[in-house]
Amino acid sequence: MSSPHSPAAVSNFIRTIIDGDLASGLHKSIVTRFPPEPNGYLHVGHAKSICLNFGLAQDYQGKCNLRFDDTNPEKESEEYALSIQEDVRWLGFQWDGEVHWASDYFDDLYAFAVELINKGLAYVDDLTPEEMREYRGTLTQAGRNSPYRDRIVSENLDLFARMKAGEYADGAKVLRAKIDMASPNINMRDPAIYRIRRAHHIRTGDKWCIYPMYDYTHCISDALEGITHSICTLEFEDHRPLYDWVLDNLSIACHPRQYEFSRLELHYTITSKRKLLQLVNANLVNGWDDPRMPTISGMRRRGYTPEGIREFSKRIGVSRSGNSVDMAIMEGAIREDLEARAPRVVAVINPLKVTITNFEGASTREADFHPNHPEFGKRFVAISSALVIEADDFAEAPPSGWKRLTLGGEVRLRHSYVMRCDEAVKDENGKVIELRCSIDHATLGKNPEGRKVKGVIHFLSCEHALPAEIRLYDRLFTVAEPDADKEVDFCTYLNPDSLTVVQGWVEAAVQDAAPETHYQFERLGYFCTDRRDHQPGGKLVFNRTVTLKDSWTKEAGSL
């Protein structure tokens, strides 16, 4: 496996624990796992968990398993399972050996349940779901024992076998662990460990009509795989006593330890598969990989890079305190990564026509694809008498300090001549529709004589430019925490302007770019050719990945 992590990994409390376990000899090497449920596409929160689990395995030369927690057959699908594998690989990680599935252990899980029954530690309960809820008690009130709690072992064995054989209706009975109905921890009040559910399973088909519950399944799967550190998010902290209880009471030698860290919440978006699914189903976005989605596939399509996401994950760190993170941290990490990897080209997304009155024909000039990376090569930048510039690079009545174009003023055309605006042509409404300009022929690669020209703007020669569809993305929601208020539907905060599609122009050098090619459009931002709709040599489609923090300042004076 390649090592995308920098050797100087940032420490955190989990690393401290691992360091201790290795130093004390408790473990010779570590085994982690990433355990998604294949019930949706992964999101940025999962990316954090992937980077953590796979990253630890890499840094400590251990192993990380990919294990699907496939115990809820109704919600799970092959499509989701495949997308998850693709996302993990795309992020730059490879699981150890084959993919694991909780369903690989259904026979073992059944046998362990029988072991619990034999030990008097599990019983079949006939209470209805409503009755069970009522018997469970509340946070302040102890629960009550079910009247079925004292069934003898042989009766429980018989009933459980008949549950498996399909003799009872869905929901008619459950198998429960016999722990403590008065426990202050509700998870310990005789939790259900098996339920009857006639559902077709993506891997075991119709073999089973009983399915093990998540808490029961997870700890046993971890133990069977020899996981050393079972890392999950904080909402499972109260489930840890159950995790330990199950393993303490079964004849499994291995007892992994569970550690919890705080979930990532990213501002202006949501990190819940269930809610993301709602957006997809209601067609409020264009599928799971819509570039506005915080899914890994959405971020990929938008042009985020695996390196950038891994760097983000490193920067936000791992802890047990709140992990509500500003989008600027993600965008900063992506921008820095793209700065070094994306060739720079010119695009015009809001064109204003410019006619150069003292220039005939066309000429070209060589220009670097990146000022700091000569190895990216060069391309030819063309100029002719008919150009387009960005409409907002011209102002008739400019604010003070304006360095761009105005009537009678001069700017440097990027990689080309100094140009003066002589006349603004307007339509009947007074809108400027064309600029008539002249160039100083003595300024190609040279400063003009006797005066300083500070501003630099980009442009394209009309006859050399190619049309392109350019998709500009903004935040998906208008508020930082769209799902904070439980009384308000998070969809009411969807940003109606999160997508703007414009027809712009790009320079010919990008004509044959493959899908998922990154560019910086100078002064506009980082863009990526769309994975689905862009056709090399045909219809060109670019997604704006992220804007530039500053328009280029350092090179503003370059000739």
Catalytic residues: 37, 263, 273
Instruction: Please list the residues that pair with 418 across neighbouring strands.
Output: 412, 440
Cα–Cα dist 216/195, whole Å: 12
Question: Which helix (H) or strand (E) covers residue 388, if one does?
Answer: strand 386-390
Indicate the residue among 35 and 482 with the shorter CB distance to ligand ATP: 35
Task: Pick between residue 27 and residue 75 the one whose CB is nearest to ligand ATP.
Answer: 75
- Write down the least CB distance from residue 69 to Mg ion, Å: 7
Restricting to residues 259-278, name those near ligand ATP by CB under 6 A. Answer: 263-264, 271-274
Instruction: Give the separation between CA 17 and CA 26, rounded to whole angstroms.
Output: 11
- Site stretch for Mg ion (CB under 5 A), options 37-45, 164-172, 281-289, 332-340: 37-45
Task: Return the residue nearest Mg ion (CB atom).
Answer: 37
Q: Name residues contacting ligand ATP, limited to 460-479 (CB under 6 A).
A: none
DSSP for residue 453:
-
Give residue 151's region: left, alpha or beta (phi > 0; psi -120 to 50): beta
Nearer to ligand ATP, 46 or 415 (CB): 46
Query: Of these partners, Mg ion, ligand ATP, none, which one is at the site of residue 156 (CB under 5 to 8 Å by kind)?
Result: none
For the bound state, the minimum distance from the C-beta of residue 91 to ligand ATP, rounded and expressed in Å, comes to 13
Residue 202 beta carbon to ligand ATP: minimum distance, rounded to whole angstroms: 15
Report the residue number, 262 or 406, with the smaller CB distance to ligand ATP. Answer: 262
Which residues are CB-contacts of 136 (< 8 A; sequence separation ≥ 6)?
Answer: 143, 181, 186, 189
Q: How far is the CB of 35 from ligand ATP (least distance, A)?
A: 5
Q: How many CB atoms lie within 10 A of CB 128?
A: 11
CA distance 194 to 177: 9
Q: Which is nearer to Mg ion, 222 or 522 (CB)?
A: 222
Q: How far is the CB of 273 from ligand ATP (least distance, A)?
A: 3
Q: Which one of the spans 33-41, 142-150, 314-322, 530-538 is the region binding Mg ion (CB under 5 A)?
A: 33-41
Within 416-455, the residues that bind ligand ATP by CB under 6 A are: none
> Which x/- pattern over 273-302 shows residues binding ligand ATP (rule: CB under 6 A)?
xx----------------------------
In angstroms, the CA 373 to CA 205 distance is 55
Residues numbered 184-243 forming contacts with ligand ATP, rule: CB under 6 A:
232-233
Phi, psi dihedrals of residue 221, rounded to the nearest 5°: -60, -45
Size of the site for ligand ATP (CB under 6 A): 15
Spatial separation of the C-alpha atoms in residues 272 and 233, rounded to whole Å: 13
Sheet holding 100-101, edge to edge: 31-34, 63-68, 100-101
Site for ligand ATP in 517-556 (CB under 6 A): none
Whose Cβ is closer to Mg ion: residue 37's or residue 265's? Answer: 37
- The binding track of 327-366 with respect to ligand ATP, each residue x by CB under 6 A or -, is ----------------------------------------
Question: Could you say which of 14, 31, 32, 37 contacts ligand ATP (CB under 6 A)?
Answer: 37
Q: Which amino acid is at 48?
A: K
Q: Of residues 238-297, which lie at the interface with Mg ion (CB under 5 A)?
A: none
Considering only 41-49, 130-138, 251-259, 483-491, which stretch makes contact with ligand ATP by CB under 6 A? 41-49
Q: H or E segment at 280?
A: helix 273-281
Is 466:508 a contact under the CB 8 Å cutoff? yes
52 touches 84 (CB < 8 A) = no
In degrees rounded to 5, what are phi and psi of residue 108? -65, -45
Min. distance of Cβ 285 from ligand ATP in angstroms? 16
For residue 328, the surrounding DSSP H or E stretch is helix 327-341
Q: Could you say which of 48, 176, 257, 310 contacts ligand ATP (CB under 6 A)?
A: 48
35 near ligand ATP, rule: CB under 6 A: yes
Per-residue three-class SS string for 26-71: CCCCCEEEECCCCCCCCEHHHHHHHHHHHHHHHHCCCEEEEEECCC
Binding footprint of Mg ion, residue count (CB under 5 A):
1
Q: What is the biggest distance separating any 2 CA atoms in the chain, rounded to whole angstroms?
A: 103
Classify 12 in phi/psi space as left (phi over 0), alpha (psi -120 to 50) or beta: beta
Q: Which stretch binds ligand ATP (CB under 6 A): 6-14, 33-41, 281-289, 463-471?
A: 33-41
Find which of ligand ATP, Mg ion, none residue 378 binds, CB within 5 to 8 Å per kind. none
Interaction partner, residue 36 (ligand ATP, Mg ion, none; CB < 5-8 Å by kind): ligand ATP
**Burial letters 249-272, b for 16+ CB under 10 A, else e:** bbebeebbbbbbbbbbbbbbbbbb
Which residue ranges make up the site for ligand ATP (CB under 6 A)? 35-37, 45-46, 48-49, 232-233, 263-264, 271-274
Q: Which residues bind Mg ion (CB under 5 A)?
A: 37
